[in-house]
A and B are shown apart, each in its own frame.
Chain A
């Protein structure tokens, strides 16, 4: 069964450093998302991406964040200068359809980001 994959599974970085989290969405999916879950809190939407541009973003997704689809398979989330509060599990998701369809988003296993 096709699945969303993410690398690395765990990333440790120093405050102020740049990190890039990588995702390979399901191959025939057209819509891509990033969510995060801070320990003990709910899963929160960060950004959606379609047709090589951001479709929707949350208040969390400020100028420190960026997303890119550098080739036909990868979808990346970059945090330019990490802060302690960026420590969280980051989930990538993809969906075949947008709203009006099932909006069933398939999630990857996540990358645990630890900022020291």
Chain B
């Protein structure tokens, strides 16, 4: 039951360049989307979110884009920094649901 799919298990990007992490979802009832970042031995840390009524949300170096018709969202990190190396989880929730549904994650490596 993969309602939230991250098809790239890993991604390597040169420091200073743009990192683009992709996510697809299947449940049209999702109305809120989130990105979490996780370092080893730590819990997921909230990064940025977007409501389904928007198509873009920006916070500093992080921008999330939502394409509802394609059921696709992406996280852009620019410029990428060494501290961005982590696992990034795409997640979604539906109105009146408590739970967050997570994707499997994408491990981002920022190369020097």
Whether a CB of chain A sits under 8 angstroms from the CB of B104 is yes
**Smallest beta-carbon distance B27→chain A, Å:** 14
| Distance in angstroms between the alpha carbons of A44 and B3 in the assembled complex | 12
A103 & B100 in contact (Cβ 8 Å cutoff): yes
Whether a CB of chain B sits under 8 angstroms from the CB of A104 is yes
A56 & B97 in contact (Cβ 8 Å cutoff): yes
B43 & A33 in contact (Cβ 8 Å cutoff): no
| Distance in angstroms between the alpha carbons of A33 and B99 in the assembled complex | 8
Q: Could you say which interface size class chain B belongs to?
A: 20 to 34
On chain A, the residues within 8 Å of B104 by CB distance are 41-42
Residue A104 contacts which of B43, B49, B96 (CB distance < 8 angstroms)? B49
**Smallest beta-carbon distance B97→chain A, Å:** 7
* In the complex, residue of chain B having the shortest beta-carbon distance to the beta carbon of A104: B46
| Distance in angstroms between the alpha carbons of A104 and B50 in the assembled complex | 11
B97 & A91 in contact (Cβ 8 Å cutoff): no
Whether a CB of chain B sits under 8 angstroms from the CB of A82 is no
**B residues bordering A, Cβ < 8 Å?**
32, 34, 36, 41-46, 49, 89, 93, 95-105
* In the complex, residue of chain B having the shortest beta-carbon distance to the beta carbon of A33: B98
| Distance in angstroms between the alpha carbons of A98 and B104 in the assembled complex | 24
B43 & A56 in contact (Cβ 8 Å cutoff): no
Q: Which stretch of A64-72, A73-81, A105-113 is in the interface?
A: A105-113
| Distance in angstroms between the alpha carbons of A45 and B93 in the assembled complex | 11
| Distance in angstroms between the alpha carbons of A9 and B112 in the assembled complex | 32
Query: How many residues of chain A are within 8 Å of chain B by beta carbon?
Result: 26
B102 & A42 in contact (Cβ 8 Å cutoff): yes
Given A43-B44, A103-B32, A106-B46, output 9 extra A-B contacts at Cβ < 8 Å: A42-B89, A48-B98, A98-B98, A103-B34, A105-B46, A107-B44, A108-B43, A109-B41, A109-B42
Assess A44 versus B102: contact at CB under 8 Å? Given A91-B44, A103-B93, A110-B43. yes
| Distance in angstroms between the alpha carbons of A35 and B36 in the assembled complex | 14
Residue A43 contacts which of B45, B89, B93 (CB distance < 8 angstroms)? B89
Assess A45 versus B101: contact at CB under 8 Å? Given A99-B96, A103-B93. yes
